């Protein structure tokens, strides 16, 4: 059957092969016009044998029957199915009426094919019903006028046309049965498509409703976390404050040594819990769109020195060295100093956590290019590094490099996610490059002059940076 399909497809225009319905309709047209005329050849043969003197009328019907084989070529070279179908319908109507006029009149065995031509016209030219009706009416009027003028010539007695009539009815029945089966398949296919479309529409509605419920639940969760985090900070601050007061009141003697150690643990645990609560509070504010930027002007070089002073002790706990490199004139910038400091402190804290006996470098520069004015900050370390697979989930909420990393070094995995969102609010982003086992480099790029109105929109993440290496 493959050879037959390839043969039929050779006649179908390429443009019709892109749509399944157009391809199916084109294949049906070619098939019926290749094999349909075979059915009518028996009519031509019996007519030729029945007519005692085959002449112009007989040969005209035979030639018209053969012409149907040319219509697939008309389709191929015109690439117009409707034009080919229109020619086919008119040729069939003419053959039926011409045969009826010369062989039997209104009782002719050729008349069933006139009904077939009308049905084919509506089938192939369903979007042009007036054209089909107009052609049908024109053919009938022409047939009637020919009868009025010339009358019906009796070339063959009607009784001798009975075999031709049976063959004609049988052929027309076979032809219309094929078209009916095809039409039924098309209708069934369309019904299946409509049912599938309805199912997809219902699924889309359910998905939209589920999304709305999920968004509402997420907003409720964010509000709940924000309120709970806020309520937790007050008692934690009290625990930390009282533990620090008690630590200051203890005399450095042997009797209070173990109590001082216990108070130190209470104080450290309280600060750790407070940091975790602060991260959750920041994340919940970001997700509920309730976080605001506080734009202020400050000296960028002084800001960098304050960050180094703040983190110097933390970095030194594992025997690391912290260096600062300010490139060029940094000047005064306008952005949210608190959030920028929180981002830089988080990156340095991470570098100190994953580096031991190494170097952590902080590089700061101002990038002024035309109308663009950027703050570029780089934190480079010589720690454990990050693999390419781990980088993919690094900035996700609660995402850490590996489960082993979380177990060994601690943390919630919120710091980088929050830092990235803060940088986006300040008009920039964070990028990272890393070599497993040799260290990592986190780069921040934010707008140097951020107007208060800019803080209300989320800017796209900045591209990866290329700063001078830290020294």
Q: Which of 287, 313, 336 corresponds to the end of one domain?
A: 287
Instruction: Taking residues 169-182, report their average pLDDT.
Output: 81
Residues 446 and 302 in one domain: yes
Domain assignment present for residue 166? The answer is no
Domain assignment present for residue 309? The answer is yes
238 versus 453: the higher-pLDDT residue is 238
What is the reported pLDDT for 169? 81
Q: Which of 119, 140, 156 corresponds to the end of one domain?
A: 156
Residues 262 and 341 in one domain: no
Domain assignment present for residue 184? The answer is no
By the 8 A CB rule, do 336 and 447 touch? no
What is the reported pLDDT for 442? 92
What is the reported pLDDT for 258? 75
Instruction: Taking residues 12-41, report their average pLDDT.
Output: 81
What is the reported pLDDT for 452? 67
Residue in 374, 359, 371 with CA at minimum distance from that of residue 300 = 374
- Token output for 19: 């749509």
Domain assignment present for residue 148? The answer is yes
Residues 367 and 448 in one domain: yes
Query: How are beta strands 332-335 and 296-299 bridged, if at all?
Result: antiparallel
Q: Which residues contact 68 (CB under 8 A, 6 or more apart)?
A: 33, 36, 37, 40, 88, 91, 92
Looking at 129-138, 371-380, 385-394, 438-447, which range is the least confident one? 385-394
Please check the confidence at residue 378 and state whether its pLDDT lies above 90: yes
Residues 331 and 378 in one domain: yes
User: Alpha-carbon distance 81 to 11, whole Å?
Assistant: 11
Helix (H) or strand (E) holding 135: helix 129-150
Domain assignment present for residue 249? The answer is yes
What is the reported pLDDT for 164? 78
Residues 374 and 418 in one domain: yes
Judge residue 364's burial from the number of C-beta atoms within 10 Å of its C-beta, 0-12 exposed, 13-18 middle, 19 or more buried.
buried
Mean pLDDT taken over the chain: 80
Query: pTM to 2 decimals?
Result: 0.45
Residues 112 and 131 in one domain: yes
Give the domain range for residue 62.
2-156
Percent of the chain with pLDDT over 70: 84
Please check the confidence at residue 141 and state whether its pLDDT lies above 90: yes
Q: Which of 156, 178, 209 corresponds to the end of one domain?
A: 156
Residues 278 and 382 in one domain: no
Residues 393 and 448 in one domain: yes
By the 8 A CB rule, do 112 and 103 touch? no
Residues 370 and 252 in one domain: no
Residues 68 and 19 in one domain: yes
Per-residue model confidence as pLDDT tens digits over 213-236: 888 887 777 677 667 766 777 787
232 versus 24: the higher-pLDDT residue is 24
Task: Count up the domains in the chain and report the number.
Answer: 3
Domain assignment present for residue 316? The answer is yes
Q: What is the distance, to the nearest Å, from the Cα of residue 250 to the centroid of all Cα atoms in its chain?
A: 66
Looking at 202-206, 297-301, 449-453, which range is the least confident one? 449-453
Residue in 327, 320, 325 with CA at minimum distance from that of residue 360 = 320
Residues 13 and 141 in one domain: yes
Residues 319 and 375 in one domain: yes
243 versus 298: the higher-pLDDT residue is 298
- Token output for 12: 């179908």
pLDDT band at 53 (very low <50, low <70, confident <90, very high): confident
Please check the confidence at residue 403 and state whether its pLDDT lies above 60: no
What is the reported pLDDT for 254? 63
Per-residue model confidence as pLDDT tens digits over 183-199: 777 777 666 677 778 88
Q: What is the distance, to the nearest Å, from the Cα of residue 40 to the centroid of all Cα atoms in its chain?
A: 53
Phi, psi of 400 (to 5 degrees): -125, 170
323 versus 179: the higher-pLDDT residue is 323
Domain assignment present for residue 171? The answer is no
Looking at 57-61, 150-154, 274-278, 452-456, which range is the least confident one? 452-456
pLDDT band at 276 (very low <50, low <70, confident <90, very high): low
Identify the CATH number of the domain in which residue 328 sits: 3.30.565.10
By the 8 A CB rule, do 288 and 216 touch? no
What is the reported pLDDT for 470? 37
What is the reported pLDDT for 142? 92
Question: Could you say which DSSP state residue 444 is in?
Answer: E
């Amino acid at each position: 059957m493959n050879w037959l399909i390839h043969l039929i497809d050779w006649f179908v225009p390429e443009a019709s092969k892109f749509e399944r319905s157009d391809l199916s309709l084109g294949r049906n047209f070619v098939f019926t016009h290749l094999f349909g005329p075979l059915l009518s050849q028996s009519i031509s043969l019996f007519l030729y044998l029945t007519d005692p003197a085959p002449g112009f009328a007989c040969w005209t019907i035979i030639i018209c029957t053969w012409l149907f084989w040319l219509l697939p070529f008309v389709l191929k070279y015109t690439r117009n199915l409707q034009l080919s179908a229109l020619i086919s319908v008119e040729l069939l109507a003419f053959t039926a009426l011409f045969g009826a006029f010369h062989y039997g009149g209104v009782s002719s065995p050729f008349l069933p094919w006139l009904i077939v031509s009308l049905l084919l016209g509506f089938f192939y030219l369903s979007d042009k019903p007036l054209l089909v009706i107009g052609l049908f009416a024109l053919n009938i009027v022409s047939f009637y006028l020919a009868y009025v003028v010339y009358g019906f010539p009796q070339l063959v007695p009607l009784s001798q046309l009975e075999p031709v009539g049976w063959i004609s009815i049988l052929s027309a029945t076979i032809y219309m049965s094929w078209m009916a089966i095809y039409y039924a398949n098309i209708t069934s296919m369309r019904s299946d498509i409509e049912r599938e479309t309805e199912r997809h529409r219902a699924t889309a509605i359910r998905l939209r409703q589920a999304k709305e419920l999920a968004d509402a639940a997420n907003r409720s969760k964010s509000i709940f976390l924000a309120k709970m985090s806020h309520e937790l900070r007050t008692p934690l601050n009290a625990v930390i404050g009282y533990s620090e007061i008690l630590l200051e009141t203890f005399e450095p003697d042997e009797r209070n040594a173990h109590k001082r150690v216990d108070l130190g643990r209470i104080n450290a645990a309280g600060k750790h819990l407070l940091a975790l609560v602060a991260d959750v509070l920041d994340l919940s504010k970001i997700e509920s769109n309730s976080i605001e930027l506080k734009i202020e002007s400050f000296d960028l070089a002084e800001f960098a020195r304050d960050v180094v002073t703040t983190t110097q002790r933390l970095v030194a706990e594992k025997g690391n060295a912290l260096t600062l490199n300010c490139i060029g004139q940094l000047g005064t910038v306008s952005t949210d100093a608190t959030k920028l400091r929180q981002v830089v402190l988080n990156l340095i804290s991470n570098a100190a956590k994953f580096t031991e006996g190494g170097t952590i470098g902080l590089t700061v520069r101002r990038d002024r290019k035309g109308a663009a004015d950027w703050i570029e900050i780089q934190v480079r370390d010589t720690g454990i590094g990050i693999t390419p697979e781990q980088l993919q989930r690094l900035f996700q909420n609660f995402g850490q490099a590996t489960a082993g990393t979380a177990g060994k070094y601690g943390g919630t995995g919120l710091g980088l996610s929050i830092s990235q969102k803060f940088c986006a609010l300040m008009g920039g982003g964070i990028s990272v490059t890393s070599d497993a086992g040799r260290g990592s480099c986190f780069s921040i790029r934010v707008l140097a002059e951020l107007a208060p109105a800019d803080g209300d929109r989320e800017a796209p993440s900045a591209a990866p940076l290329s700063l001078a290496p830290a020294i």
